[in-house]
Amino acid sequence: MKQIANFLYEVGLLKRVKRSGWWLAGVKDPETVAEHSWRAAVIAYLVAKLEGADAGRACAIALFHDTHEARVLDLHKVAQRYLDPGRAEAAAIREQVLPLPDAVRADVRGLKDAFLSRDSAESRIARDADYLECLAQALEYKAAGNGDVEDWIANCRRRLETGSARRLAAALAKTKPDAWWEDLKRRIVEEK
């Protein structure tokens, strides 16, 4: 159990690791990797349901897809140009899971491998969820007047593979990030 406790503390670092690409867009206080991964997991669950895939597996793949960043941090594309991020990620995840019990180690490693392989509906959905989450975040930053995010928006939309993800991206682009709150306020006023 101590190894699992250590792993939990280590992945807890993701609550403090900032997604560094947003700094290039002028966002002063970007989201953390944990915030990104949580919403990506929610998106993966929803898209998997829409696609008729295994929502639990897609959600788990998305949830664990960036655990390596507790060790190698979130490197934006400019930094990645000068490093070998694939090798670093592989080494980090291999070492992270090594102390875990066999069944847990194999499963967590398998989730990361699935994310990278895109060889199943669930892995493609998790990848789409990663891009959809980034797209939603870019749209939120844009609505708040933060940063130059048009490249993020275009790149995320272009990389989507599933029909449900593409439709969700279109809906996100047409919906103001605070529309849910505006609708709720209107309904509360009407109920009075």
Task: Tell me the backbone φ, ψ of residue 143, rounded to 5 degrees.
Answer: -65, -30
Instruction: Calculate the CA dihedral of residues 104, 108, 109, 114 and round it to 10 degrees.
Output: 140
Please name the residue that has the structure tokens 């990104």: 36
Lookup: tokens for 105: 């180690």
User: CATH number of the domain that 104 lies in?
Assistant: 1.10.3210.10
Task: Find how far residue 74's CA is from the centre of its chain.
Answer: 12
Q: What is the pTM of this model?
A: 0.94
- The pLDDT, as a whole number, for residue 54 is 98
User: Can you give the residue range of the structural domain that contains 156?
Assistant: 2-191
The residue among 71, 57, 39 whose CA lies nearest residue 110 is 57
pLDDT score, position 77: 86
pLDDT of residue 146: 85
Strand segments (E) across the chain = none
One-letter amino acid identity for 9?
Y
pLDDT at position 191 is: 82
pLDDT given at position 192 = 76
Please state which of the ranges 13-17, 63-67, 96-100, 184-188 shows the lowest mean pLDDT: 184-188
Nearest to 165 by CA among 129, 120, 123, 117: 129
Any idea what DSSP says for residue 53?
Answer: S
CB 33 within 8 A of CB 69: yes
Q: How many domains, in total, are found in the chain?
A: 1
Confidence of residue 121 (pLDDT cuts 50, 70, 90): very high
